[in-house]
Chain A
């Protein structure tokens, strides 16, 4: 029995050490969302697609590793990263102070402003006063949620959704008057589509760094410094060799990398 315990302890020791020794990053598991068009969405055939997905594939390829995509609901994204369900998050996640307490980020891979949308003509002049009493939908656990709660929390009724798609459904159903989200996601994921034709952007571009951070980055566990470096290098590589531009042009007709 004693011998068995020794062997068992040895096995556990070895098992615990194998991943540490094999930190070659031959495969990188990426957490993605899948309900945030055009950045990530599920195609009719069930395959994941979108800007984030293509960027994820391109970056891991630039590292010379294999990519495994893991779909995860948005509000469990960071906890699942810390629970090692995957090694990095590429899901349009903005780099913010609050998140940096828990995880590290690569350099940004794109940056676009946030904006409100509402039914055409329903908000003729945008001001804090005009928003009073309105119901505004937002995706839970996003920078937009944080901004809305901090800045308009006392003036508007906030409805929080698990995904952007659900928020669109309720805007069309008339349960919310306005939505706040990333401007590109709103325009490509909703306004340009049939169901979004009666809606329009209202108010200014929102990109205050206090809430909207430095753009979207790749989230990595704090201890995986090497992976963070690999991602930073990979971003530079695909920016330089034109792969980034090819992917960008596939989805957008403007520069999403920002300044």
Chain B
């Protein structure tokens, strides 16, 4: 085993780290931003709105991410109409293709996560909001969505981590992400163990950071579910009478 090939080429990995972080965070932000309105419409919209959303979610959850990426990257490039259109400068870039695919993919999964937690809003909360005279929009903003986000957090943290790991596929379409860096090092030195264990450590470090921040958020949002503050409740030990 020879880790000098890693330390000597660490800049390749750092470049990969940068690309992975940008790609994943932009995809997650875009995906979540699209998913919130879509999830709400999916629950309260009329059938004409619900069906296209259902079809979208079904397509992206029903096909592998790799197939979706090949469709966008190589598939669209096949059509001359596409190549002549104003969109081509965007689709020409591997980066954009990966970003688009990842955003839509994570969006589809997030819609389902949010839909589930919106539907699961306790009836009492809605009733109380109605009784207080809230309009539907206000109720959505103040009661239903905050409550749904709390319930969605554990499932969504999974989605964040899946997206991070799914982003390794970007290396297939020429992007040098962490996996792409590992493939370059592997191909140059024929040392798959060193190359990929380094990539694995990078991914683990990122996952660890994500988990840390999710836990902070959970502490804040789920404060009402935490065990009561120990400093407030003091349990006194019963007095013992030694002499008795």
Consensus secondary structure, chain B interface: helix
Q: Are B92 and A173 in contact (CB under 8 A)?
A: yes
Q: In the docked arrangement, what's the CA distance between A70 and B94, Å? A: 31
Closest to A74 in B: B187
Contacts of B174 in A (CB 8 A): 159-161, 170
Q: Is the CB of B172 within 8 A of A98?
A: no
> Known contacts being A145-B187, A175-B94, is A79 close to B77, with CB within 8 Å?
no
- Report the bound CA distance from A141 to B186 in whole Å: 8
Contact B94 A141, beta carbon cutoff 8 Å? no
Residue pair A160, B77 in contact (C-beta under 8 Å): no
**Complex: how many Å from CA A170 to CA B93?**
11
Q: Report Cα–Cα, A227/B234, bound state, in Å.
A: 79
B-contact bits for A185-218, CB 8 A (1 contact / 0 none) = 0000000000000000000000000000000000
Known: A79-B190, A79-B192. Contact between A173 and B83, CB under 8 A? yes
How many residues of A sit at the interface, in one of the four size bands?
A: 20 to 34
| Chain B residues in 8 Å Cβ range of A76 | 192
How many chain B residues touch A (CB < 8 A): the figure is 18
Question: Which B residues are CB-close (under 8 A) to A170?
Answer: 77, 174
Q: Which residues of chain B are near A99, meaning CB under 8 Å?
A: 190
Contact A169 B77 (CB under 8 A): yes
Q: Write the nearest CB–CB distance from A33 to chain B, whole angstroms.
A: 14
B34 CB–A CB distance under 8 Å: no
Within the complex, the shortest CB–CB distance from A78 to chain B, in Å, comes to 5
A159-B174, A161-B174, A162-B172 given; A98·B190 CB < 8 A: yes
Q: State whether the Cβ of A75 lies closer than 8 Å to any Cβ in chain B.
A: yes
Determine the chain A residues whose CB is within 8 A of the CB of B190 once the complex forms: 78-79, 98-99, 101-102
- Cβ of A160 and Cβ of B94 under 8 Å apart? no
CB distance from A45 to the nearest CB of B (A): 23
* A233 part of interface (Cβ distance < 8 Å): no
For window 63-104 of A, CB contacts with B under 8 Å fall at 75-76, 78-79, 98-99, 101-102
Query: Chain B residues in contact with chain A, CB under 8 A?
Result: 74, 77-78, 83, 88, 92-94, 172, 174, 183-184, 186-190, 192
Closest 10 CB pairs between A and B? A141-B187, A173-B77, A159-B174, A79-B192, A102-B190, A78-B190, A75-B187, A140-B187, A169-B74, A175-B92
